[in-house]
Structure 1
Amino acid sequence: MPDLALAWFTSRGWKPFAFQRQAWAAIDRGESGLLHASTGAGKTYALWLGALRAFAGTAAGRQPAPLQVLWITPMRALAADTAQALQVPLDELGLNWSVAVRSGDTGSAERARQARRLPSALITTPESLTLLLTRAQAEQDFASLRLVVVDEWHELLGNKRGVQLQLALARLRRWRPQLVVWGLSATLGNLEHALQVLVPDGGLLLKGRQNKRLIVDTLIPAQLERFPWAGHMGLKMLAQVAAELDGSASSLVFTNTRAQAELWYQALLEARPEWAGLIALHHASLARETRNWVEGALKQGQLKAVVCTSSLDLGVDFLPVERVLQVGSAKGIARLMQRAGRSGHAPGRTSRITLVPTHSLELVEAAAARQALAAGHIEARRSPRLCMDVLVQHLVSMALGAGMRPEQLLAEVRSTWAYRDLQASQWQWALAFVHNGGSALGAYPDYQRVEAHADGIWRVTSERLARRHRMGIGTIVSEASLQLKFWSKGGGKALGSVEEAFIARLRPGDTLMFAGRMLELVRVENMTAYVRRSTSRKAAVARWNGGRMPLSSELADALVEQLEAASHGHFESPELRAVRPLLTLQASWSALPTRTTLLAETLSSRQGSHLFLYPFAGRMANLGLASLIAWRVSRAQPLSVSIAVSDYGFELLTPSRVDWATHLPAALSAGQVLEDVLASLNASEMALRRFREIARISGLVFGGYPAAQKSTRQIQASSGLFFEVFRKHDPGNLLLGQARDEVLGEELEIDRLHRHLQRMSSQQLDLHALKRPGPLAFTLLVEGMRETLSTEKLADRIARMVAELENAAGNGHG
Structure 2
Amino acid sequence: MLVASDAGRHAMLVADTGAGKTLAGFLPTLAAFCPSRFGEQGPPDGLHTLYVSPLKALAHDVQRNLVTPVEEMDLPIRVETRSGDTPSDRKKRQRVRPPNVLLTTPESLSLLLSYPDSFAMFAGLQRVVIDEVHAFATGKRGDLLALCLSRLQSIAPGLQRAALSATVADPQAFREWLAPWGDIDSVELVEGEPGAPPHVEVLLPIEERVPWGGHAGRWAIPQIYEEIRRNKTTLIFTNTRFLAEYTFQLLWDVNEDTLPIGIHHGSLSKEARRKVEGAMARGELRALVATASLDLGVDWGDIDCVVQMGAPKGSSRLLQRVGRANHRLDQPSRAILVPGNRFEFLEATAAKEAVDQGQRDGEDFRPGGLDVLAQHVMSCACAAPFDEGGLLAEVRSSLAYSWLDEAVWQRVLHFVATGGYSLEAYDRFKRIVRDANGTWRLTHPEHAARHRLNAGIIVDNEMIEIRFRNGRSLGKVEEQFAASLRSGDTFRFAGMDLEVESLRDLELVVRAAKTSATIPSYMGLRLPLTTHLADRVREMLIDRASWARFPDDVREWLEVQDWRSRMPGPGQLLVETFPHAKKHYAVYYTFEGWNANQSLGMLINRRMEDRGLMPGGFVANDYSLAVWGLKPVIDPLPLLSPDILTDEFVEWVQESHLLRRAFREVAVIAGLVERQHPGKRKTGKQVTFSTDLIYDVLRKYEPDHVLLEAAWADARTRMTDVGRLGNVLDRAAEQLVHVELDRVSPLAVPVMTMIGREALPQGAIDDELLLEAESLGAEAMRVETAPADLE
Pairing 1:289–2:271 present = yes
Choose the corresponding residue for 2:81, options 101, 111, 114.
101
- Tell me whether 317-326 or 256-265 shows the greater mean CA deviation: 256-265
Q: Which residue of structure 1 aligns with residue 709 of structure 2?
A: 737
Q: Which residue of structure 1 aligns with residue 241 of structure 2?
A: 258
Pairing 1:364–2:342 present = no
Q: Which residue of structure 1 aligns with residue 757 of structure 2?
A: 786
| Distance of aligned partners of 1:87 and 1:502 in 2 relative to their CA distance in 1, 3 Å threshold | farther
Choose the corresponding residue for 1:620, options 576, 595, 605.
595
Q: Which residue of structure 2 aligns with residue 404 of structure 1?
A: 386
User: Which segments of 5 or more consecutive residues in structure 1 lack a partner in the other structure?
Assistant: 1-22, 481-498, 511-542
Query: Do the aligned partners of 1:596 and 1:764 also contact (CA within 8 Å) in 2?
Result: no
Structure 2 residue identity aligned to 1:299: A
- Tell me whether 602-611 or 663-672 shows the greater mean CA deviation: 663-672
| Superposed counterparts of 1:634-713, under 5 Å | 634-637=609-612, 639-659=614-634, 663-670=635-642, 673-679=645-651, 681-682=653-654, 685-705=657-677, 707-713=679-685
CA offset digits 1:466-495 (Å, max 9, x no partner): 211111111111125xxxxxxxxxxxxxxx
CA offset digits 1:559-587 (Å, max 9, x no partner): 1111112xx343253x4556213223323
Q: Which residue of structure 2 aligns with residue 8 of structure 1?
A: none
Structure 2 residue identity aligned to 1:729: Y
Structure 2 residue identity aligned to 1:241: I
Query: Do the aligned partners of 2:129 and 2:163 also contact (CA within 8 Å) in 1?
Result: yes
- Tell me whether 685-694 or 760-769 shows the greater mean CA deviation: 760-769
| Distance of aligned partners of 1:191 and 1:546 in 2 relative to their CA distance in 1, 3 Å threshold | farther
Choose the corresponding residue for 1:475, options 457, 462, 483.
457
Query: Do the aligned partners of 1:80 and 1:101 also contact (CA within 8 Å) in 2?
Result: yes
CA offset digits 1:12-33 (Å, max 9, x no partner): xxxxxxxxxxx11001111002
CA offset digits 1:85-116 (Å, max 9, x no partner): 22222211221121111211112332243233
| Distance of aligned partners of 1:272 and 1:437 in 2 relative to their CA distance in 1, 3 Å threshold | closer
**Equivalents in 1 of 2:572, 2:15: separation in Å?**
37
**Equivalents in 1 of 2:557, 2:600: separation in Å?**
27
Q: How many residues align?
A: 732
Q: Following TM superposition, by how much is the alpha carbon of 1:180 offset from its aligned partner in structure 2, in angstroms?
A: 0.6
Q: Which residue of structure 2 aligns with residue 353 of structure 1?
A: 335
CA offset digits 1:667-696 (Å, max 9, x no partner): 344466344432455565211111111111
| Distance of aligned partners of 1:778 and 1:227 in 2 relative to their CA distance in 1, 3 Å threshold | farther
| Superposed counterparts of 1:21-32, under 5 Å | 23-32=1-10
| Distance of aligned partners of 1:158 and 1:503 in 2 relative to their CA distance in 1, 3 Å threshold | farther
**Equivalents in 1 of 2:269, 2:148: separation in Å?**
30
Q: Following TM superposition, by how much is the alpha carbon of 1:343 offset from its aligned partner in structure 2, in angstroms?
A: 0.4
Choose the corresponding residue for 2:746, options 761, 764, 775.
775
CA offset digits 1:413-468 (Å, max 9, x no partner): 11111211112111111222222232111111111101223454322242322211
**Equivalents in 1 of 2:191, 2:64: separation in Å?**
25
| Distance of aligned partners of 1:349 and 1:788 in 2 relative to their CA distance in 1, 3 Å threshold | closer
Q: Which residue of structure 2 aligns with residue 216 of structure 1?
A: 200
Structure 2 residue identity aligned to 1:756: V
Instruction: State TM-score, norm by structure 1.
Output: 0.84
| Distance of aligned partners of 1:755 and 1:109 in 2 relative to their CA distance in 1, 3 Å threshold | same
| Superposed counterparts of 1:28-43, under 5 Å | 28-43=6-21
- Secondary structure at 1:558 match in 2: helix
**Equivalents in 1 of 2:445, 2:622: separation in Å?**
50
Choose the corresponding residue for 1:169, options 143, 146, 149.
149
Q: Following TM superposition, by how much is the alpha carbon of 1:139 offset from its aligned partner in structure 2, in angstroms?
A: 1.4
Pairing 1:204–2:184 present = no
Q: Which residue of structure 1 aligns with residue 485 of structure 2?
A: none
Q: Which residue of structure 2 aligns with residue 495 of structure 1?
A: none
Choose the corresponding residue for 1:719, options 691, 695, 720.
691
**Equivalents in 1 of 2:738, 2:278: separation in Å?**
55
Query: Do the aligned partners of 1:626 and 1:652 also contact (CA within 8 Å) in 2?
Result: yes
Pairing 1:452–2:437 present = no
- Secondary structure at 1:560 match in 2: helix
Pairing 1:421–2:403 present = yes
| Distance of aligned partners of 1:303 and 1:811 in 2 relative to their CA distance in 1, 3 Å threshold | farther
Query: Do the aligned partners of 2:347 and 2:533 also contact (CA within 8 Å) in 1?
Result: yes
Query: Do the aligned partners of 2:585 and 2:626 also contact (CA within 8 Å) in 1?
Result: yes
**Equivalents in 2 of 1:116, 1:307: separation in Å?**
40
| Superposed counterparts of 1:21-170, under 5 Å | 23-54=1-32, 56=34, 57-59=37-39, 62=42, 64-170=44-150
Query: Do the aligned partners of 1:603 and 1:770 also contact (CA within 8 Å) in 2?
Result: yes
- Tell me whether 124-133 or 750-759 shows the greater mean CA deviation: 750-759
- Tell me whether 667-676 or 342-351 shows the greater mean CA deviation: 667-676
Q: Following TM superposition, by how much is the alpha carbon of 1:48 offset from its aligned partner in structure 2, in angstroms?
A: 0.8
Choose the corresponding residue for 1:747, options 716, 719, 726.
719
- Secondary structure at 2:628 match in 1: strand
Q: Which residue of structure 2 aligns with residue 5 of structure 1?
A: none
CA offset digits 1:534-567 (Å, max 9, x no partner): xxxxxxxxx99983212211111111111112xx
Pairing 1:552–2:516 present = no
CA offset digits 1:777-801 (Å, max 9, x no partner): 2222222222379999996686156
Query: Do the aligned partners of 2:169 and 2:362 also contact (CA within 8 Å) in 1?
Result: yes
**Equivalents in 2 of 1:800, 1:181: separation in Å?**
56
| Distance of aligned partners of 1:654 and 1:452 in 2 relative to their CA distance in 1, 3 Å threshold | same
Pairing 1:183–2:163 present = yes
Pairing 1:571–2:554 present = no
| Superposed counterparts of 1:239-638, under 5 Å | 239-276=222-259, 278-480=260-462, 547-565=525-543, 568-573=544-549, 575-577=550-552, 579-595=554-570, 597-632=572-607, 634-637=609-612
| Distance of aligned partners of 1:789 and 1:410 in 2 relative to their CA distance in 1, 3 Å threshold | closer
- Tell me whether 714-723 or 427-436 shows the greater mean CA deviation: 427-436
Structure 2 residue identity aligned to 1:725: V
Query: Do the aligned partners of 1:188 and 1:381 also contact (CA within 8 Å) in 2?
Result: no
Query: Do the aligned partners of 1:163 and 1:384 also contact (CA within 8 Å) in 2?
Result: no
Q: Following TM superposition, by how much is the alpha carbon of 1:164 offset from its aligned partner in structure 2, in angstroms?
A: 0.8
- Secondary structure at 2:257 match in 1: helix
Q: Which residue of structure 1 aligns with residue 509 of structure 2?
A: none
| Distance of aligned partners of 1:378 and 1:96 in 2 relative to their CA distance in 1, 3 Å threshold | same
CA offset digits 1:237-275 (Å, max 9, x no partner): 111111222221111011112222112212212212323
Query: Do the aligned partners of 1:216 and 1:354 also contact (CA within 8 Å) in 2?
Result: yes
**Equivalents in 1 of 2:767, 2:24: separation in Å?**
54
**Equivalents in 2 of 1:784, 1:165: separation in Å?**
43
Pairing 1:759–2:739 present = no
Query: Do the aligned partners of 1:363 and 1:576 also contact (CA within 8 Å) in 2?
Result: no
| Distance of aligned partners of 1:677 and 1:377 in 2 relative to their CA distance in 1, 3 Å threshold | farther
Q: Following TM superposition, by how much is the alpha carbon of 1:588 offset from its aligned partner in structure 2, in angstroms?
A: 3.6
- Secondary structure at 1:163 match in 2: helix
Q: Which residue of structure 2 aligns with residue 534 of structure 1?
A: none
CA offset digits 1:680-714 (Å, max 9, x no partner): 55565211111111111111111122632111111
Structure 2 residue identity aligned to 1:183: A
| Distance of aligned partners of 1:369 and 1:800 in 2 relative to their CA distance in 1, 3 Å threshold | closer
Query: Do the aligned partners of 2:577 and 2:587 also contact (CA within 8 Å) in 1?
Result: yes
**Equivalents in 2 of 1:797, 1:397: separation in Å?**
51
User: Which segments of 5 or more consecutive residues in structure 2 lack a partner in the other structure?
Assistant: 476-520, 787-791
Pairing 1:193–2:168 present = no
Q: Following TM superposition, by how much is the alpha carbon of 1:742 offset from its aligned partner in structure 2, in angstroms?
A: 1.1
Structure 2 residue identity aligned to 1:611: A
Q: Which residue of structure 2 aligns with residue 19 of structure 1?
A: none
**Equivalents in 2 of 1:183, 1:325: separation in Å?**
28
| Distance of aligned partners of 1:675 and 1:211 in 2 relative to their CA distance in 1, 3 Å threshold | farther
Instruction: State TM-score, norm by structure 2.
Output: 0.87
